[in-house]
Amino acid sequence: MLRFYRASGHAIAGFFLFILPPTGALLLGQQTGTATSETEATEAPKPPPDEVVRLDTFTVQEELAANSQEELRQKAAVSVDMLSSTDFGKYIATDVADIIVRLPGLSTTTRGTFAVVRGLSERYNPVMLDGIGIPSSDPERQSPELDLFPTRLVDTIVIGKTFEPRLPGTSSGATIDLLTKPIPEGRFAQLQFGVRADEGFLKNDPFLGSKRDGFWDYLALGVKDRKAEAPPAIPANAALDYVRSPNTVSSVREESFPIGTRFSVTYEDRIILNEESERAFGYSFSLSYDSTAGTEEGYKFSVDNIFQPTVGAVNGNIDTGIFGFNREDYLESEVETRIGLLATLGYAFNDRHQLAFSFFLSQVGIDTHARYTNGTSIPNLTFAEYTRFRAGNPDPTDSEPEFGERTNEAMEIYYRQRRLANLRLGGDHAFTDNEAIKVSWDLARVDAQQEEPEYLNFPYLYNPEATFVYDAPLGGAMDRYTRYWRDTKERSTIGRVDSEFEFDLGPLSGNSVRAGVYVDRTDRDYLEEALFLNGGSLRGRTLEEFLGALQTYTGRADRFSGSNVQPFANAERKLNAAYVSWLLPILSERPGVHKLDLLAGARMEDFRLVSLGSGRIGNESSYRFYQYLRQKLQMPMVPGETINTVYRGEIDERKVLPVVGLNYSPIKALNFRLSASKTTARPSFREVGSYFTVDRVNDEYVHGNLMLETSDVKNYDVRVEYFFPGSQDLVAFSVFRKDIAKPIERLSLDITNVGAVSTFVNNPSDAVLNGFEFEGAKKLDFLGEWGSWFTLGGNYTFIDASVAREPLLEAVQIESTGISDTRQLYDQPEWIANAYVTFEHPSAGFSTTLSWFGISDVLQKVNEYTWDTYTASHSRFDVTMSQRLGNRWQIRLSARNLFDPDRKTIADPHNTNQEIVYRRYSDGRSYTLTASYEF
């Protein structure tokens, strides 16, 4: 039988990436007029009663087709979680980053783009697209940002939290595999369009932008509208002319609040070429477009010196110390445009030999404008004095200086553009009459790029009592008019071959041995060009006069590179891997035993990473950074290093990663799963790269560390799951443990003449992570017909991870400050929870879902001279409603973040006696209306 199949809107193909070779995931089918992002799936026709939907390793009869996702999870050799495109329709999501938080144990990082699984950050969670590892275009991270993947082009998300030899050796937290739409069963076409309004649009709130000629921003190709080209396009003698040009955007302005738009079109078909030989050709094309606009308004606050015992806080009590304070209000506006394209071609010679070709493209443009006001920097005050000063009523008995009305202000413009392209060819082949031998292969070229054609930071002083109200000194300080351009490119060529041999071994029937190889060749290039104004000042009595002074500025426009080595970084990675595994059916269909299977195997990886780089910030360089880092870590200095040294880092290792798992089913609906494995965690290109970048979230520089080592991870997992017969209902409970040797963590340093700089270090102490998670979903049909319209579901994950507070400095006197000697693991929440209730009335064509997501405090950054930074606990409540109109139209209305709670970044809540808010803001509400037409 030809393997172009449907299965009532559930992604059969997705699951089988863990059971069958990966190309089968592209060819095995389901209906592809499925729900996308904010549209529920179209119900595919069920097969005739006498038709068997054949899925290679087992047979699913018609009565199981509607519950195929649960059936496949139940029969899996390893523990997996899944979300299909049908599930996407329950929630509000434009991209994968927004939808994965609905799965047990999953959250995202601070900016909401990278996955965190069971408290382990993205380095432990490789992302794959149809079984091929995806490189990262982001300069700071190892895995790609998940907002690159529109949900309209993703058919199934498969989360494998248990390591299995076919998966990457870095799968310590989970493997996130995104399955695109398979080759279609028949002709299908769908058109979708809609609008999204942020609450600011409805209230006519201020929105920041800048004057820009051209229309390329609307197509996520804004690089074409920026005057600056990829670095190093601007020669030194032209930099000043560039700054003074009236066509150069140098300031932000208020604009009308834009409204978001969305559009998608899908067309697919299958052509039978020969009924007798089952030769067929299938193709599909999907294009999606989304634009959103929103604002974030709040304030930022920082506290220095708490680790200075003579002046800092005692036992976490901020009232007892004298500190340095910094505070500013801000308004940030952002427009994000996303375009996605997926094209697939499939050709079946017969039911045993098939080829598939696919092309996936995602293009994202993000345009950000910010204005910072009321900035205050005070070096020596008590917290009480600072509070009174901010309130405008200082106590006259205090020896507090008079600050007047002078404040620090700034404008910021930042555009970044990301692209991910995946070109893939694969084959799926079965041999022998009973197809006991199967082989699949894939070749892929994946290109990832992030272009930052311009970042502008323009700080200045505001003093209404002065002659020149606006003033920007341009001396030697780092905080001055600065622009930079960055370009990060990562290219991967990947090949894999997977095979499976099924056989009987005496009375043990159904043995399965799998083996394969995986080869990855990846290189990354990073270029940077930056300039700053140096000498004199810019002044004005009004803001317009002040900004106009740029066009007559006669000082210097200096490049960071100067006459020295220009900032750069490049790296290459080579990975050769081979694996073998054996699924041994110990018992089957015995009294008290439905099945008892043993999975054993190992993955062998030969890994090499080489990086070269040299970073510059003004007069400082990577040389200065490594001097400071080695001093703090009590490491010897390296003779012969200078400001122009090009640093080289290398990791060269071979690892054997074993796994053993046991799956016991006393009855068909009940599974007990046990697993133990060893995996690894490796540094990313950014983390070993010897160059500087800017982190806008934490307002600090970032530099890599060539001395990083890999971390070994031991994984233990126990899972119990029960699937209610004849339904999609289930309950599951898991207990897990991770032992991480020398985990890589981010540490913020305070380097003289540079400021706050984050880097990455191996914590010399091991981290231990324990936790459990619960998942359940139940239709209320036991209450009668009306109860069958309702489904309740949710999940909860608890995580207890601890690590020694090292590598904080040996000079820090922990005892005198009351700071505990252990802390949470970086990026790790203590709990994550989801809950939803769905109402669906099939005859009326109406459905609605109310969903809630909550997460605890998360360690965002480890600091050197102040409390660690945490993202405070927060939640989100969404509502979606969908109504079908006839057989072809569907209308959908959704409201996101209805309660709009305050979002906060706070000082370490475990070591402070009151809440100290570093940053407070609001995400805002948004409302979306979409319509789709099928034909």
d(CA 497, CA 914): 57
**Nearest residue to 343 via CA among 272, 446, 266:** 266
Q: What is the pLDDT of residues 240-282, one digit of tens each?
A: 777 877 777 778 899 999 999 999 999 999 898 888 878 899 9
Reduced to 3 states (helix: H, G, I; strand: E, B; else coil), residue 546 is: helix
- At residue 491, the pLDDT reads 92
Instruction: Provide CB contacts within 8 A for 609, sequence distance 6+.
Output: 571, 572, 573, 574, 649, 650, 651, 652, 682, 683, 685, 688
Q: Identify the pLDDT of residue 617.
A: 72
Structure tokens that stand for 222 in this block: 């804004």
The answer to which of 411-420, 473-482, 603-612 has the lowest mean pLDDT is 473-482
DSSP-assigned letters across all residues of 757-788: EEEEEE-SSPEEEEEEEEEEEEE-GGG-TGGG
- For the chain, what is the mean pLDDT? 80
More confident residue, 42 or 139: 139
The per-residue pLDDT for 846 is 93
Given a cut of 90, whether residue 191 has pLDDT beyond it is yes
Q: Poorest-confidence range of 38-47, 261-270, 830-839?
A: 38-47
Element (DSSP H or E) covering residue 530 = strand 508-534
Q: What's the confidence (pLDDT) of residue 562?
A: 39
pLDDT at 34: 35
Q: What is the pLDDT of residue 308?
A: 58
Cis peptide before 135 (omega within 30 of 0): no
Lowest mean pLDDT among 74-78, 647-651, 929-933: 74-78
- Per the DSSP assignment, residues forming a β-bridge with 612 are 570, 648
| pLDDT at position 326 | 84
Q: What is the pLDDT of residue 39?
A: 35
Supply the pLDDT for residue 323.
75
pLDDT tens per residue, range 744-782: 888 877 776 677 788 888 888 888 889 999 989 899 988
Confidence of residue 437 (pLDDT cuts 50, 70, 90): very high
What angle is formed at CA 450 by the lines to CA 367 and CA 200, rounded to 5 degrees? Answer: 20
The one-letter amino acid at 652: D
Residues 6+ apart with CB under 8 A from 758: 695, 698, 700, 701, 702, 703, 746, 747, 748, 749, 861
Residue of higher predicted confidence among 612 and 182: 612
pLDDT of residue 644: 82
Cα 405 to Cα 327, 373, 384, 429, 430: the distances in Å are 14, 12, 20, 76, 78
What are the backbone dihedrals phi and psi of residue 95, each rounded to the nearest 5 degrees, phi first?
A: -135, 170
Three-class SS state of 631: helix
Pairing relationship of beta strands 858-863 and 744-751 according to DSSP bridges: parallel
Of residues 443 and 122, more confidence is placed in 443
Query: In this structure, are strands 593-614 and 647-665 parallel, antiparallel, or unpaired?
Result: antiparallel
pLDDT score for 810: 38
Residue with tokens 């004005």: 540
Residue-wise burial string across 206-238, b where 16 or more C-beta atoms lie within 10 A, e elsewhere: ebbbbebeeebbbebbbbebbebeebbebeeee
Give the C-alpha separation, 137 to 451, whole Å: 9
> One-letter amino acid identity for 880?
T
Taking Cα atoms as reference points, which of 569, 538, 691 lies closest to residue 621? 691
Select the highest-mean-pLDDT range: 157-161, 315-319, 676-680.
676-680
Spatial contact of 255 and 208, defined as CB atoms under 8 Å apart: yes
**101: which 2 tokens?**
């938080």
Question: Is residue 915 helix, strand or coil?
Answer: coil
C-alpha angle with apex 343: 340 to 347, nearest 5 degrees? Answer: 160
For residues 320-356, one letter each, b for 16 or more C-beta atoms within 10 angstroms of the residue's C-beta and e for the rest, the string is ebbbbbbbbebbbbbbbbbbbbbebbbbbbebbebbb
Question: What percentage of the chain has pLDDT greater than the value 70?
Answer: 81
Q: Per mean pLDDT, which range of 26-40, 287-301, 783-797, 892-906 is the poorest?
A: 26-40
Confidence of residue 235 (pLDDT cuts 50, 70, 90): low
* Band (221; pLDDT cuts 50, 70, 90): very high
pLDDT, tens only, 780-791: 988 888 999 999
Residue 861 has pLDDT above 90, yes or no: no
Question: pLDDT band for position 696 (50/70/90)?
Answer: low
**Which position has the higher pLDDT, 624 or 78?**
624
Report how far residue 559's alpha carbon sits from residue 659's, in angstroms, rounded to the nearest whole number.
52
The answer to whether residue 105 scores a pLDDT higher than 70 is yes
- Whether pLDDT at 404 is above 60: no
CA contacts within 13 A on the Cβ side of 233: 13
Compute CA 207 distance to the chain's CA centroid, rounded to the nearest angstrom.
26
pLDDT level of residue 401 (50, 70, 90 thresholds): very low
- Range in 422-431, 878-887, 906-915 the model is least confident about: 906-915
CA proximity to 556, closest of 614, 618, 615, 616: 618
Q: 3-class SS at 671? A: strand
Q: How far is CA 265 from CA 89, 269, 287, 306, in A?
A: 17, 14, 5, 56
Question: Can you name the residues that pair with 191 across neighbouring β-strands?
Answer: 265, 933
Q: What 3 state SS string does 265-300 have?
A: EEEEEEEEEECCCCEEEEEEEEEEEEEEEEEEEEEE
> In this predicted model, what pLDDT tens digit does every residue of 507-566 receive, in sequence order?
888 899 999 999 999 998 888 777 778 888 899 999 889 988 888 888 877 765 433 456
Contacts with 725 (C-beta within 8 Å, 6 or more apart), sequence order: 668, 669
Q: What is the pLDDT of residue 425?
A: 94
Predicted pLDDT at 51: 33
In terms of Cα–Cα distance, which of 422, 404, 430, 448 is closest to 349? 430
Residue 47 has pLDDT above 50, yes or no: no
Spatial distance between the Cα atoms of 43 and 495, rounded to a whole number of angstroms: 36
**Which pLDDT score, from 0 to 100, does residue 710 have?**
92
Pair of tokens at residue 63? 């009565």
Cut 0.85: pTM above it: no
User: Residue 423's pLDDT band (boundaries 50, 70, 90)?
Assistant: very high
For the chain, report the end-to-end CA distance as a whole number of angstroms.
27
The predicted-structure confidence for 290-314, as pLDDT tens digits, reads as follows: 999 999 889 888 887 666 555 556 5
Q: pLDDT at position 808, please?
A: 46
Which whole number is the average pLDDT over 321-340? 87
Is the per-residue pLDDT at 58 higher than 70?
A: no
pLDDT reported for residue 813: 38
Decide if 478 contacts 617 (C-beta within 8 A).
yes
Q: Is 594 exposed, middle or buried (0-12, 13-18, 19+ CB in 10 A)?
A: middle
* Nearest-angstrom CA–CA distance, 437 and 433: 9
Q: What percent of the chain has pLDDT over 90?
A: 30
Centre a 10 Å sphere on the Cβ of residue 767 and count the other Cβ atoms it contains.
Answer: 25
678 confidence band (pLDDT: 50, 70, 90) = very high
Q: Is the pLDDT of residue 815 over 80?
A: no
